[in-house]
Chain A
Amino acid sequence: GENVEQHPSTLSVQEGDSAVIKCTYSDSASNYFPWYKQELGKRPQLIIDIRSNVGEKKDQRIAVTLNKTAKHFSLHITETQPEDSAVYFCAAAQGSGNTGKLIFGQGTTLQVKP
């Protein structure tokens, strides 16, 4: 079955710097990769997603890149702000994604220091 590895587990940056979180997946049939942000004590919320027919997607300060050959995808946050501090989870759809089953990474705790 699908396995998703996420690195680093913790990341601390200065406000204004960039942050990069990387994930690798094992199932070459996976074709949908969402990213979720979870603030302390809150629900996970989708921040960006990418499908396998696209190599990069950007939404303001957030971008995701996908390398299908290497089976890895990354989240890039530019000009970080204190409100970006949260736990970030990557996920990959199991198989072709038609079941809706997502396999999540272990999470990255991002701390943005003012």
Chain B
Amino acid sequence: NAGVTQTPKFQVLKTGQSMTLQCAQDMNHNSMYWYRQDPGMGLRLIYYSASEGTTDKGEVPNGYNVSRLNKREFSLRLESAAPSQTSVYFCASSVGTAHQPQHFGDGTRLSIL
């Protein structure tokens, strides 16, 4: 099993460009999450999807949109990229929401110039 797969692994954008980060899991998990990781700030939740068909905001949702395409896939979109969105983005999934370990993908390193 691949677990949680994120594409792309690296991306450089110019300010104002748009981009979609892809995430897919093959563990039949119900819940999926998007985090960003910045130096010295740990992981911060952007959006999450408790189950297929639902999405909700996390700590830092501004400037992002998400789509839970089906049970396997959860995408993150930057409509108009800004330098402040330069970060490493991690997708994660869990069986359910309550007290369940989250399994992370390898991350996407995104630079916005």
Interface residues of A (CB under 8 A from B): 1, 6, 9, 31-32, 34, 42-46, 49, 51, 89, 91, 93, 96-107
B interface secondary structure, majority: loop
B48 at the binding interface (Cβ < 8 Å) = yes
Complex Cα spacing A113 to B8, Å: 35
Give the chain A neighbours of B96 by CB distance below 8 A: 100
Say which residue of B58, B101, B103 sits within 8 Å of A49 (CB atoms). Answer: B101
In contact, A97 and B98 (Cβ under 8 angstroms): yes
Using an 8 Å CB-CB cutoff, how does the interface string of B27-55 with A read, 1 for contact, 0 for none?
A: 00001010000001111110010100000
Measured CB to CB, the closest approach of chain A to B55, in angstroms, equals 12
Q: Is A104 a contact of B104 with CB atoms below 8 Å?
A: no
Interchain Cβ contacts under 8 Å between A and B, 18 examples: A6-B42, A9-B40, A32-B99, A43-B105, A43-B107, A45-B104, A46-B102, A46-B103, A96-B98, A97-B97, A99-B48, A100-B33, A100-B97, A100-B102, A102-B43, A105-B42, A106-B41, A106-B42
Give which listed residue, B31, B59, B101, contacts A103 with CB less than 8 A.
B59
Q: CB-CB < 8 A to A104: which residues of B?
A: 42-44
Enumerate chain A residues within 8 angstroms of B94, measured Cβ to Cβ. Answer: 100
**Contact assessment for B90 and A43 in the assembled complex, using a CB-CB cutoff below 8 Å:** yes
Residues of B contacting A96 in the complex (Cβ-Cβ under 8 angstroms): 98
